[in-house]
Amino acid sequence: MLPFKIVYHDGYDLQLGAHVFPSQKFRLVRDALVGQGLADPADILTPQPATDEDVLRVHTREWVEKLQQNRLTATERMRLEIPCSAETVAAFWLAAGGSILAARCALQDKFAANLGGGFHHAFPGHGEGFCMLHDVAIAIRRLQSDGAIRNAMVVDTDVHQGNGTAAIFASDRSVFTLSIHQLNNYPVPKPASDLDIHLDDCTEDEEYLNLLGQGLKESLDRFQPDLIFYIAGADPYREDQLGGLWLSLGGLRRRDELVFGEALRRGIPVAITLAGGYARRVEDTVRIHVNTILAARDTSDAVLR
Ligand SMILES: [Zn+2]
């Protein structure tokens, strides 16, 4: 039913209970897509966990072993802001496997979405801000290692800057990093991306879309990637509890269409990951993520028709 594949696993849920991070959203997005007849169960692929070899292309052996053996220091646990357990660790290995699979599918079908992932605050040697492993970086490194892509661009529209992405690819000319985010928000400091668009508090739809459109065009004129990884955070939404931007639901959908339209017109495949989303009503977060999938479907139909 969808013109591309969706990647999802029940194990994505971190089972955090009353935490501000509604990790049940992954299942809710999947259920909404199937329940509303927008996706067919046959559109959905089940990922395998990433291998340790995949993870070690990005992360230090020390960090990987600390996670696997549950040996984090008190400071490391505090920075992570989510519990470290066998279940949560397994969920991050699965999310990384999901992003690898989504990237491969995107190369075939122009689009694919991992209904999870986008853990852009993970660094090689530590995790923070709900992110243990950087699934997107792991996927890029795996596809490069397979010879499936030479270079990639990360387009990150989560309200929080992609500090892990910026740090991992800082001296890597094969990966261009673009982040558009609220300046006065976590993380502090913000290591430099190739392009950082720092937004004032309470930025609304029109200004946001103008700046994103301009930044994206300039970046793609300079750098022609074999693949775009789109980190489609739902948290620039005006009702978000951890964000201070004022985008509307319609503005967020136009954001997605802008990214997809620009990519498709240039013939660049896009792999989508969900990243953050902390709306007061979890239904709004789910709606924003579902809309991202629908924007990909509609752009795909419009451009390829
Ligand atoms: Zn975020």
DSSP letter for each residue of 167-179: HHTTT-TTEEEEE
CA 206 – CA 6 distance, rounded (Å): 30
pTM over 0.85: yes
CA of 181 to the centre of ligand 1 (A): 9
CA of 180 to the centre of ligand 1 (A): 11
The DSSP bridge partners found for residue 181 are 198
Question: Coil, strand or helix: which one is 228?
Answer: strand
| pLDDT at position 15 | 86
CA of 187 to the centre of ligand 1 (A): 10
| pLDDT at position 304 | 59
CA of 211 to the centre of ligand 1 (A): 19
CA of 146 to the centre of ligand 1 (A): 30
CA of 121 to the centre of ligand 1 (A): 9
CA 210 – CA 212 distance, rounded (Å): 6
| pLDDT at position 177 | 98
CA of 247 to the centre of ligand 1 (A): 14
CA of 213 to the centre of ligand 1 (A): 20
The parts of the chain modelled with pLDDT lower than 70 are 303-305
CA 16 – CA 180 distance, rounded (Å): 28
Look up residue 181 and give its DSSP letter. E
